[in-house]
């Protein structure tokens, strides 16, 4: 069986195991040897992070050519307008180019949402609102840049879903280990391949049958388990 760890990354935790500048890291929360994050989640963002010891699964989740849809709950400054939602849906011009079409809906604050520590700065005369934003890209701080570009800066960012995997009832710092069979992995790979244009379907980077994952660039070596 192929193991996949679903982890609710707390606010101000680095998405890596190696120590950095006295900041909290995954090593403070996860004690499973040999696993690596399949992608990243910013230090000041919260929510779903996937980790695995299986190389092909890691690539299927995080490889640039095979981006899974990711859904974020986003608290923004101000009451977001329908015009801004339309812009986010159609694509926003950023410094690194136009974003791909996305799915964006105005939502109420998720009813089961945990309090953040420290909390979002409260300003009595400026309301806030929430959206659910689903994208298939992975640019640096993309969601924050998108909402700022349409006039509604992000105050809080929580990743709720990656592909078929949802955050569910996991609280900050909690984790759930799933066991996937080979058939499930092949279905995921085939689904990603079918979503690509013909000249993108080579599957480059996914042909290696080795199951050993690589530490994503910048994450450093996986530390030894703590006693």
Classify residue 39 as exposed, middle or buried by CB count within 10 Å of its CB (0-12, 13-18, 19+). Answer: buried
The distance of Cα 216 from the centroid of its chain, to the nearest Å, equals 14
- Largest Cα–Cα separation, the chain: 57
- The one catalytic residue in 28, 42, 96, 181 is 42
Q: Tokens at residue 220, please?
A: 């450093």
Q: Rounded CA gap, 36 and 26, in Å?
A: 10
Q: Rounded CA gap, 96 and 21, in Å?
A: 29
* Sequence-ordered alpha helix ranges (H) in the chain: 55-62, 82-90, 142-149, 182-194
Q: At what angle do helices 82-90 and 142-149 cross, to 10 degrees?
A: 130
Can 42 be counted among the known catalytic residues? Answer: yes
What SS3 class is residue 90?
A: helix
Which stretch of DSSP H or E encloses residue 106?
strand 103-107
Which active-site residues does the annotation give?
Answer: 42
């Amino acid at each position: 069986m192929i193991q996949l760890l679903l982890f609710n990354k707390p606010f101000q935790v680095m998405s890596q195991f190696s120590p950095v500048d006295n900041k909290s890291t995954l090593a403070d929360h996860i004690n499973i040897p040999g696993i690596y994050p399949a992608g990243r989640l910013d230090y000041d963002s919260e929510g779903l992070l996937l980790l695995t010891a299986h190389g092909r699964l890691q690539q299927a989740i995080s490889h640039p050519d095979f981006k899974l849809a990711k859904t974020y709950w986003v608290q923004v400054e101000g009451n977001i307008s329908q015009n801004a939602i339309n812009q986010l849906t159609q694509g926003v011009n950023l410094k690194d180019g136009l974003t791909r079409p996305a799915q964006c809906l105005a939502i109420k604050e998720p009813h089961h949402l945990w309090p953040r520590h420290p909390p979002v700065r409260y300003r009595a005369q400026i309301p806030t609102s929430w959206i659910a934003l689903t994208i298939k890209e992975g640019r640096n701080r993309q969601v924050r840049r998108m909402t700022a570009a349409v006039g509604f800066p992000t105050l809080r960012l929580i990743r709720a879903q990656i592909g078929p995997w949802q955050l569910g009832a996991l609280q900050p710092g909690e984790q759930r280990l799933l066991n996937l069979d080979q058939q499930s992995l092949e279905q995921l790979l085939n689904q990603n391949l079918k979503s690509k244009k013909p000249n993108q379907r080579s599957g480059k980077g996914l042909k290696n049958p080795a199951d050993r994952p690589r530490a994503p660039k910048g994450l450093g070596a996986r530390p030894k388990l703590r006693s």
